A and B are shown apart, each in its own frame.
Chain A
Amino acid sequence: MNLANVLEQAKVASDPQSLLQCFPYAQALGISASWDNEKLVAHLAFDQHIIGDLGAAALQGGAISTLLESTAVLSLLWSVEKIQMPQFMNHSVEYLASGRPKPTHAQAEIVRHGHQIANVRTIAWQGDRSAPIAAAHTHVLLVPESK
């Protein structure tokens, strides 16, 4: 599968969800993407599989971390003119509150989009957007797709 083709088709159809076919792990976790007020929002559906603490019924930190990373990569892909496959350099997650057994949403803000490196800030929330459950800073290396 060619990322450039998938991205081009997704942009024509304005369908960020179709980009997820390039990310089997995000798909396996149940991550989806849609538009909310013209901003890309990724969603992590609740499933028993992503529980990290059965006693407290809390989501596993790794699942939340993956949602944050996926949101960052999807937002970056959507924003690029030239097709570049983002490669993660580092990812720093702050867990602010435990994830409850319900859907989680995330939105990314591209703080700086340089020629080689992008700095992305991502926030995840559940019911109330003003009460985030996790936040992340991600540095991504932008490598032009080789022809």
Chain B
Amino acid sequence: MEAKYQLIRTFFDEDIPFNKLVGMKVTVLGEGHAAIRVPFKPELIGDQRRPALHGGVLSALIDAAGGAAAFTRVNLPGDTLSTLDMRVDYLRPAKLQTVIAEGHVSRMGNRVASVDIHCYHEGEPERHLATGKAVYNVRRSSTDKPTLQ
């Protein structure tokens, strides 16, 4: 399991250029859940008047955290995921601080994974900034059924 988590960590932190651009780092991985952290930097501002982070930072983070959570439930290396659909509800403006997104797999199917995600500022896990629901297409490397967990 640790080897699989290391693959996911390396994939998200090192191998996805966009994640590096935003500054995402995987902080937590467990069966069916993942957390990703983004420290604040000025390039992430969306509204300088309030000021607040850009909604796109949260939606990108939600997509990544949902993907990382779903990755913990597939066979690696081999299986791949792609986002089919994602809905983000913005609950309050994100301050110019570190943001964390946590994804929890609500259903892992053979072809489709559904994940619930929420974002919060570090140290304020109960105060949600945005919630998301993402659906991923799972492409299995073999026709074998996935390991049931």
The reply to whether B93 and A87 form a contact with Cβ atoms under 8 Å apart is: yes
- Asked if B57 CB lies within 8 Å of chain A CBs, one says yes
Residue of B nearest to A4 (CB): B49
Among B37-45, B68-76, B105-113, the one that faces the other chain is B37-45
Closest chain A CB from B125 CB (angstroms)? 22
Near A by CB (< 8 A), chain B positions 80-112 give: 80, 82-90, 93
A85 to B89 CA separation, bound complex (whole angstroms): 18
A61 to B115 CA separation, bound complex (whole angstroms): 15
Closest chain A CB from B65 CB (angstroms)? 11
The reply to whether B90 and A54 form a contact with Cβ atoms under 8 Å apart is: no
- Asked if B35 CB lies within 8 Å of chain A CBs, one says no
The reply to whether A65 and B60 form a contact with Cβ atoms under 8 Å apart is: yes
Q: Which of A22, A51, A65 is in CB contact (< 8 Å) with B17?
A: A51
- Asked if A114 CB lies within 8 Å of chain B CBs, one says no
Residue of B nearest to A62 (CB): B60
Among A23-31, A103-111, A124-132, the one that faces the other chain is A23-31
A28 to B18 CA separation, bound complex (whole angstroms): 11
Q: Which of A3, A48, A62 is in CB contact (< 8 Å) with B59?
A: A62
- Asked if A118 CB lies within 8 Å of chain B CBs, one says no
Residues in chain A near residue B88, CB distance under 8 A? 65, 88, 90-93
A11 to B44 CA separation, bound complex (whole angstroms): 25
Residues in chain A near residue B46, CB distance under 8 A? 23-26
A80 to B115 CA separation, bound complex (whole angstroms): 36
The reply to whether A26 and B17 form a contact with Cβ atoms under 8 Å apart is: no
Residue of A nearest to B54 (CB): A25
Q: 9 extra interchain contacts, Cβ-Cβ under 8 A, other than A51-B16, A54-B17, A95-B82?
A: A22-B48, A24-B45, A28-B44, A48-B17, A52-B19, A56-B80, A60-B17, A66-B55, A85-B47
Q: List 16 A-B contacts (CB under 8 A).
A: A23-B47, A28-B21, A49-B20, A53-B80, A54-B16, A60-B17, A60-B19, A61-B63, A62-B59, A65-B59, A65-B60, A69-B55, A85-B50, A87-B93, A91-B59, A93-B83
